[in-house]
């Protein structure tokens, strides 16, 4: 199964650029309010606070683009942001190494934690940001990962 929200990159870039513009305009409005007009007193701080909060939420939600591929004998995960500030997480490993997964759904963000077996430390946890996936995409992702885990358990019983 393949899953990708790469087609929405333009939308995420637009939203991110609009928030950055709001921050710059908010700083300019604050400076004009504070040093030239002085109408609202310290209430002009909201010109900076609200855009910065929006920028923080946008950054907190994590990397916007998530790609998943379970075709073949390996699982491919790729998670990247629209800007180069956020590192790209790209992992590829055989299906039989998948031990379990967990989706954490907090108020502002969603994360996918994948536990895989490794030779050195017995298990490794990989983290991906899935905040920008739709409910249906998250459901399909869970279904695919559950199938892989079920197949791994059946393979262990036969062995």
Q: According to the model, what pLDDT value does residue 86 have?
A: 66
| Eight-class DSSP state of 88 | P
Question: What's the gap between Cα 142 and its chain centre?
Answer: 16
Q: Which CATH number fits domain 1-159: 2.60.120, 2.40.50, 1.10.599, 2.30.29?
A: 2.30.29
* Alpha carbon separation from 129 to 1, 21, 94, 111 (Å, rounded): 19, 25, 21, 5
Contact 96, 72 (CB under 8 A): no
The DSSP letter of residue 39 is -
Q: Are 127 and 111 in contact (CB under 8 A)?
A: yes
pLDDT at 85: 67
Torsion of CA 102, 106, 109, 112, to 10 degrees: 0
- Residue 136 CA, chain-centre distance (Å), reads 16
- Provide the pLDDT for residue 111: 95
pLDDT tens, N- to C-terminus, the chain (159 residues): 899 999 999 999 999 999 999 999 999 988 888 888 877 766 778 888 999 999 999 988 889 999 999 999 999 999 998 876 667 889 999 999 999 999 999 988 999 999 999 888 789 999 999 999 999 999 999 999 999 999 999 988 886
Three-state secondary structure call for residue 158? helix
């Amino acid at each position: 199964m393949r899953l990708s929200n790469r087609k929405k990159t333009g939308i995420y870039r637009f939203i991110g650029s609009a928030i950055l513009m709001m921050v710059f305009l908010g700083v300019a409005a604050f400076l004009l309010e504070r040093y030239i007009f002085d109408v609202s007193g310290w209430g002009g701080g909201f010109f900076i606070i609200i855009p910065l909060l929006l920028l923080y939420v946008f950054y907190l939600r994590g990397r916007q683009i998530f790609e998943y591929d379970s075709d073949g004998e390996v699982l491919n995960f790729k998670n990247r942001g629209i800007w180069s500030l956020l590192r790209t997480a790209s992992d590829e490993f055989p299906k039989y190494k998948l031990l379990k997964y967990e989706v954490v759904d907090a108020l502002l963000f969603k994360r996918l934690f994948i536990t895989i077996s490794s030779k050195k430390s017995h298990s490794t946890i990989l983290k991906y940001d899935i905040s920008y996936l739709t409910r249906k995409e998250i459901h399909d992702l869970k279904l695919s990962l559950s199938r892989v885990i079920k197949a791994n358990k059946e393979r262990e019983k036969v062995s």
